[in-house]
Amino acid sequence: MPNRTRTTHPAADDGRGDFGIFVLREAGTALKIFSQLILSSMTNTLKSSRSRSRRRRTPSRDIVVGLRARILDGTFVAGQRLPTHVMIEKEFRSTPPTVAKALEVLKRDGFIRAEAGRGMYVASRPPHQHHYALVMGDAAASHLTQFYVALRNEAARFQSAGRRFSIFYDIRNHSDGEDYQRLLGSIRARQLAGLIFSEAPFLLMGSPILEEPGIPRVAISSKAVFAGVPAVYPNQDDFIPKALDYLSSRGRKRVAVITAVTMAQHQPFIEGLTRAAAERGMTCPPHWIHAVHASETRWAAHHVARLLMDLREPPDALMILDDNVVEQATAGLAASNLQIPRDIDVVAHTNFPWPTPAAVPVRRLGYDITTLLGMCVDRIDALRRGEQPRALTLMPAMFEEELASQRTHRSEMAMQ
């Protein structure tokens, strides 16, 4: 039989082998791509889940705002215990470190206090009810002017009554100033019961110090010029008639005046003063009305007083209308050869209870700064209760003994 040897076709076998290898290679590539797609999808899902988890966690500033709002609206009252850290964490969907950070901010700002082993409590005197800002003008002038000195002193005395004052200087829209930024921070952190401006805040118009909502404000100003900002001020129109009535009762006829530059610059003031004296049978010639700068050249009051007393017919009455020059003016009187009060009676302006020294006996007439600051605080508290005080309140001028009698009466009424 013929030998039937199988004839192979290498070309055909190679084609089938290459195709199989190709199929396997492509399948491997597809599997690799598919695996990468699955892994990428799982990674993106995990990232998205983590991102959503992070978004659900409330930042500490929102916890501060939320808890502080409940203290401000009375949900949490003074002395009340706050929810536990765990409860706050669950409510705000936060973490223990974030909650601890928020509570530390509230503690630093005076809203809460910690009791070891017992938790966190609302402060007994939270700042939004007991912390007031006294907003002063120029720092240098406020240290030299007796009225501002008296205001600062009275603010310190209020500490003993449970009120706390912080004093801010140079708040005249200098937004880059340290005290301006400190005050603005206290306003936005709701750390203040209210603001007391030591003068009409014209230069703060349009600024957050004057416009930020939710903070009661009052101004020590002769006019109420800002809506919703009541004004309190000493009634200066009350001073001169009362001083002249006293001098007239003492039989005095010739009145001289030493006052501040700002008052004597106004012709209506001079005319009104001479007219008021004439109505009482007294004379007060314009050349006896002398102005002395209250802060820079107050020493000139000494020389003015000496010149007046050296006249051939000197005045027998002197009104010192600015307590910043009382010490210097009375020193000039003491240097004269007059006997006081035999030859001359002196009425001296005073910001009670902080009188400036006098070198000779004087009758003190002025305004009680304790009452003034108390009226400012009362109006802030009224605004916080939703009430609207009268736009302008003027304080009457009082002699020293009148004020002492009034204080005695108040003390007796308080004890009943």
In order, the DSSP letters of 368-413 are EHHHHHHHHHHHHHHHHTT----SEEEEPPEEHHHHHHHHHHHHHH
**CATH topology of 128-215 equal to that of 236-367?**
yes
Cα distance between residue 315 and residue 301, in whole Å: 16
pLDDT in tens, 310-360: 999 999 999 999 999 999 999 999 999 889 999 999 999 999 999 999 999
At the topology level of CATH, where does 128-215 sit? Answer: Rossmann fold (3.40.50)
pLDDT in tens, 39-64: 565 555 555 545 444 445 679 999 99
What's the angle, vertex CA 186, arms to CA 204 and CA 168, rounded to 5? Answer: 55
Per-residue pLDDT, 187:
95
What stretch of H or E contains 146? helix 146-157
Between strands 119-122 and 112-115, the pairing is antiparallel
What amino acid is encoded at 290 in this protein?
H
Per-residue pLDDT, 156:
87
Is the domain spanning 60-124 CATH 1.10.1740.10? The answer is no
Per-residue pLDDT, 104:
94
Cα distance between residue 150 and residue 312, in whole Å: 39
Is the distance from CB of 131 to CB of 193 less than 8 angstroms? yes
Per-residue pLDDT, 416:
60
Cα distance between residue 19 and residue 24, in whole Å: 9
Per-residue pLDDT, 7:
46
| Residues of the chain under the 50 pLDDT cut | 1-13, 22-23, 49, 51-55
Is the distance from CB of 108 to CB of 100 less than 8 angstroms? no
- Alpha-carbon 400 to chain mean position: 30
Per-residue pLDDT, 337:
83
- Superfamily for domain range 236-367: Response regulator (3.40.50.2300)
**Domain spans, the chain:** 60-124, 128-215, 236-367
Enter the DSSP assignment of 345. Answer: E
Nearest partner of 110 among 90, 98, 136, 128, judged by Cα: 128
Nearest partner of 318 among 292, 351, 352, 354, judged by Cα: 292
